Amino acid sequence: MHKCFPARGVMEGLLSRCRALPALTTCGRQLSGYVPHRFYHCGPERGKRLVLSRMFQPQNLREDQVLSPEGRSGDLSCKSQRLMLQVGLIHPASPGCYHLLPYTVRAIEKLERVIDQEMQAIGGQKVNMPSLSPAELWRATKRWDLMGKELLRLRDRHGKEYCLGPTHEEAITALVASQQTLSYKQLPFLLYQVTRKFRDEPRPRFGLLRGREFYMKDMYTFDSSPEAALETYSLVCGAYSSLFHRLGLQCIRVQADVGSIGGTTSHEFQLPAEVGEDRFAVCPGCGFSANMETLHSSQTSCPACRGPLTESRGIEVGHTFYLGTKYSSIFSAQFTNAHGKPCLAEMGCYGLGVTRILAAGIEVLSTEDSVRWPSLLAPYHVCLIPPKKGSREEAATELTGGLYDLITEAVPQLRGEVLLDDRTHLTIGNRLKDANKFGYPFVIIAGKRALEDPAHFEVRCQNTGEVVFLTREGVTEFLSQVQVI
């Protein structure tokens, strides 16, 4: 859809159309005013341009050249894995382990900033615990044996046993227990980290959706009473819902089994997807939802209202647990109450699969041949495409460089977010195909109309498919509305 409007009309018209498309919330959220705090990504040194030819991005843009870690293209069993390998977002290292390449690292850093905002908005404090976890902590909770082969275990040169932590309930509870003068006035504590986790998956698959090494946000809370702990539980679940809303991901909170982590209450945040390994049921009538594991195998009616249940498949991207005193009683994580008596802390734990959220978002938002990113997480928001060298439009090449400089000066939040595709030996069409596959939210092309007076640039909104032509000033006015993290 090609249009040419005055800058103000284009900006208002295109933004309203982006926001009006419910299936394209990514674009709409990028152009909305909702950001609780502004955290701009640091850009390159002023005067230097980010150019595509300098990017380390091993690409396999032909699908038949993409191989799984086992070396067989037929093992690529989901869209996100295939696309992330194709465009050079990840590269296989060993089964279940991937090199995260520059574009992916940028996206994960942005996701971590969104997580930090949401967790710190409810009082979260960030920590960082060792990946090596002593076996005696896990033996104290009996999970050294309970976790079985899932734990990656090792011994140091002195024969001391460790595991590479898949989660940190033992470690955080022992840490809090070591502070022996805690008062009820200091609680609640909401302590969280974003670190690598390890799990010896028997059958790693689906790329970053199920691997042996992954990034996770895990929060652990300590309250002075069951009532306060449940209030904290509700608070964290609300922050999770806010997070997924900002990312444009329609996640569903469902009742879940407590599994090996334990506790009395548990919920999963499921992102509906055909490749999802979980099955959950939702009642359209009353809103009840639960993982199918918690229901009877033959159950077809809602336990709350007796209405029919609708079954779906989903990807688990978050999990919450109310633990009570399961861990605090083992490690004596205590505080002094208002009467001066020692009491056990009431605990909760809350996980977010960071790399899984990114891959799951790509899975549900992308087309079959082009990456589309969760809102706010695109590694670069704008890609500029100058004319091909030797073409009739080559005179507009300098105009493209000037537009790059103007955008980074006039739109401060986009410094470090604009990429110049300087591969001018390729046609505009070939570079546009690449830009579409990489999923930059906005692509700006200096084509034939860049030679007009005044010059007009072709601006493409990748998430809606709309195309408009804007002057330099129109481009900067339009892009000034783009939100970044």
**CB–CB of 380/415 below 8 Å?**
no
CATH superfamily of 380-481: Anticodon-binding domain (3.40.50.800)
The residues, ordered by sequence, that sit 6+ positions from 83 with a Cβ below 8 Å of its Cβ are: 89, 362, 366, 369, 370, 371, 437
Alpha helices in 366-427 (DSSP H): 397-410
Interval 267-288 mean pLDDT: 96
Q: How confident is the model at residue 15 (pLDDT cuts 50, 70, 90)?
A: low
Question: pLDDT value at position 143?
Answer: 96
**164: helix, strand or coil:** strand
Among 4-13, 135-144, 175-184, 330-339, the range scoring the smallest mean pLDDT is 4-13
Given a cut of 50, is residue 38 above it in pLDDT? no
- Listed as own residue / partner, the contacts of 251-256 with beta carbons closer than 8 Å and 24 or more positions apart are 251/317, 251/318, 252/280, 252/282, 252/289, 252/314, 253/289, 254/280, 254/281, 254/282, 254/289, 254/290, 254/291, 254/314, 255/289, 255/290, 255/291, 255/294, 256/290, 256/291, 256/293, 256/294, 256/319
Q: Where are the domains of the chain?
A: 63-69+76-365, 380-481
Interval 219-234 mean pLDDT: 98
Q: How confident is the model at residue 23 (pLDDT cuts 50, 70, 90)?
A: very low
Q: How confident is the model at residue 12 (pLDDT cuts 50, 70, 90)?
A: low
Interval 373-383 mean pLDDT: 96
Interval 111-121 mean pLDDT: 98
Interval 315-325 mean pLDDT: 97
Question: pLDDT value at position 35?
Answer: 39
Question: pLDDT value at position 26?
Answer: 46
Residue (of 264, 182, 265) closest to 224 by Cα position: 182
Question: pLDDT value at position 41?
Answer: 38
d(Cα 188, Cα 209) in Å, to the nearest integer? Answer: 33
Residue (of 242, 236, 209, 483) closest to 358 by Cα position: 209
Question: pLDDT value at position 298?
Answer: 84
Among 132-141, 148-157, 203-212, 254-263, the range scoring the smallest mean pLDDT is 254-263
Q: How confident is the model at residue 149 (pLDDT cuts 50, 70, 90)?
A: very high
63-69+76-365: CATH number: 3.30.930.10
Among 12-26, 82-96, 108-122, 319-333, the range scoring the smallest mean pLDDT is 12-26
Given a cut of 50, is residue 34 above it in pLDDT? no
Q: Could you report the per-residue pLDDT of 407-462, keeping only the tens digit for each? A: 999 999 999 999 999 999 999 999 999 999 999 999 999 999 999 999 999 999 99
Given a cut of 90, is residue 390 above it in pLDDT? yes
Interval 379-402 mean pLDDT: 96
Question: pLDDT value at position 2?
Answer: 52
Q: How confident is the model at residue 263 (pLDDT cuts 50, 70, 90)?
A: confident
pTM of the full predicted structure? 0.90
What is the percent of the chain with per-residue pLDDT over 70, rounded to a whole number?
87
- Listed as own residue / partner, the contacts of 133-136 with beta carbons closer than 8 Å and 24 or more positions apart are 133/162, 133/163, 133/164, 133/165, 133/168, 133/170, 133/171, 134/160, 134/161, 134/162, 135/160, 135/161, 135/162, 135/163
Could you write out the DSSP letters of every residue in 447-473? -GGGGSSS--EEEEETTT--EEEE-HH
What is the percent of the chain with per-residue pLDDT over 90, rounded to a whole number?
83
Given a cut of 80, is residue 313 above it in pLDDT? yes
Average pLDDT of the chain is 90
Given a cut of 90, is residue 146 above it in pLDDT? yes
Residue (of 456, 435, 425) closest to 384 by Cα position: 435
Question: pLDDT value at position 25?
Answer: 44
